[in-house]
Structure 1
Amino acid sequence: MQNTNKTVVKSMEILRLFIAHDQLTLNEMIELSGMPKTSVHRMASSLADMGLLEKQETGVYRLGLMFLEYGQLVADRLDIRRIARPFMESLRDEVGEAVQLIVREGDEAIYVEKIEGTQPVRLYTAVGRRSPLYAGACARSILSFLPESERLAYIDSIELGKIGIGTITDKEVLRNMLEESNARGYTLSYSELENYTAAIGAPIFNHLGEVAAGISIAGFEAGYQKERLPYLIKQVKKAASDISRELGFSEQIKSQ
């Protein structure tokens, strides 16, 4: 820290004030920072010249539009597979089931990462596989948490085809299931994509509070009986929450 530039550090202290405040006057920045008036005035002017702050006609300062550009760059460059994988491995080690990560592509879900379970028999899902958003807990973990208008529009436009013996083919049943999943924070499926298998999924949210991906565990139905479900659900939701937090999500964003 010996080579730290004091001006840069103080400028960052000024910028950090705007994490908790939408806008500030010069006097408010002086009061909150405890810095001399001349220093704050000089730094605020320089930050405004660089586009990091924006001075309104009323004299108040706000964060500049450049932060939107930087923020979008950070969001675009976040590799969800890289971020999610350690949590997926921990989840697999905890429950012993296969763990899958999906993202949405149009009306489909695409599997972008998978970690095999500890069981000797493997499920046939693989990276690159696609499935409709309505089928299976993993895909429905995205569909269930889209805005309600988007969910309803999807249901109206889609034709529900049978894939496994448990695939939902009734739109009213699907609509009710999506509402229930949204309320409880996870999805559950039995024999929807592959007969005699089960899955539990949960949504992953980004820094904007939007559902960005879904994570699920999957295995044979015998391992997903009623007495074990609460434990499995808790672990899947925890992994989804941990990944969401790494993507910049917080409950405060969701409640806004």
Structure 2
Amino acid sequence: MSKTVGKAVRVLEVLAEEPRGIAELARALGVHHTTALRMLQPLVRGGLIARAADGRYRLGLRLVEYGQQVLDEIDLRVAARPHLLALAESARATAHLVQLVDGRAVYVDKIEGASIRTWSRIGRAVSLHTSAAAKAILARLPAEQGERLLAGHDFTRFTDRTITDRAAFRAHLDDVARHGYATDRAEFEPLVHCIGVAVPGLPAAVSVTLVRTGPREPEPTEQLGALRETVAAITAGLGSAIG
């Protein structure tokens, strides 16, 4: 990657976190504000970045167009969407579709089925060692491919329930493979619990996310039957070639 392209990518990454004024952006990039302004100008002209009324810079609508085009080209997302809608409605919870894209597990679709919003966002990568969907995918991958994905992975602790030991996580994936589903029990966000099931024949998974604020709240495993039916419907829609 050339230095110019690398700088542009870094600008987009910083602004993806939140809109920033030129001074804030310069500090985040570690450059003088005049240098930051020069870096912004071609991105603004190309519609990749826009300047808001308050003077702060944010990601531009052109990126939305490009992102939508990429998502529309993912056949799995198209096939899965009606089933995700039905799952989110029946579960009164958030349904996600996660797929391996360029070596990362990425949210390729999300249907909000509850009033409580979650951290997830379409196009955002998930944490391999905490996400139920990512675990479900990893557990079904050939061992060599799974090891490559985890080789440089940082087992960051997000909550007191996060698995941070590599050997313990491998053993956990063995359990996932044995049971046919994976869970995230507040391992990334407190109170947020998920259950995920892999899509047969594809490096992808569907998950249901619930926010549990007390012991009487529904357990994610209560959605296992509906989740498996959803995955089966998606698989049937894609055809037997992936089975």
Structure 1 unaligned blocks of 5 or more: 1-76
Shift of 1:191: 1.8
Residue 235 of structure 2, aligned match among 241, 244, 247 = 244
Shift of 1:178: 0.7
> Retained in 1: the 8 A contact 2:88–2:113?
yes
Residue type at the aligned position of 1:213: A
Provide the residue aligned with 2:125 in structure 1.
130
CA distance in 2, matches of 1:194, 1:247: 33
Q: Deviations over 1:177-235 (max 9, x none)?
A: 11111111111011222222100001113xxx3x3311101021348879745431111
Provide the residue aligned with 1:103 in structure 2.
99
Provide the residue aligned with 2:80 in structure 1.
84
Residue type at the aligned position of 1:94: S
CA distance in 2, matches of 1:147, 1:224: 37
Compared CA separation, residues 144 and 85, structure 1 to 2 (3 A): same
Compared CA separation, residues 179 and 88, structure 1 to 2 (3 A): same
> Retained in 1: the 8 A contact 2:116–2:211?
no
1:197 and 2:192 are equivalent in the alignment: yes
- Percent of aligned positions with the same letter in both sequences? 26
Provide the residue aligned with 2:226 in structure 1.
235
1:94 and 2:85 are equivalent in the alignment: no
Residue type at the aligned position of 1:185: G
The number of equivalent residue pairs is: 172
Provide the residue aligned with 2:57 in structure 1.
none
- Secondary structure (helix, strand or coil) at the match of 2:203 reads strand
> Retained in 2: the 8 A contact 1:191–1:198?
yes
**Aligned ranges for residues 1-256 of structure 1 at < 5 Å?**
79-118=75-114, 120-205=115-200, 209=201, 211-222=202-213, 228-249=219-240
Residue type at the aligned position of 1:95: A
CA distance in 2, matches of 1:179, 1:173: 10
Shift of 1:156: 4.2
TM-align CA RMSD: 2.7
Tell me which structure has the larger Cα radius of gyration.
1
Provide the residue aligned with 2:34 in structure 1.
none
CA distance in 2, matches of 1:165, 1:239: 31
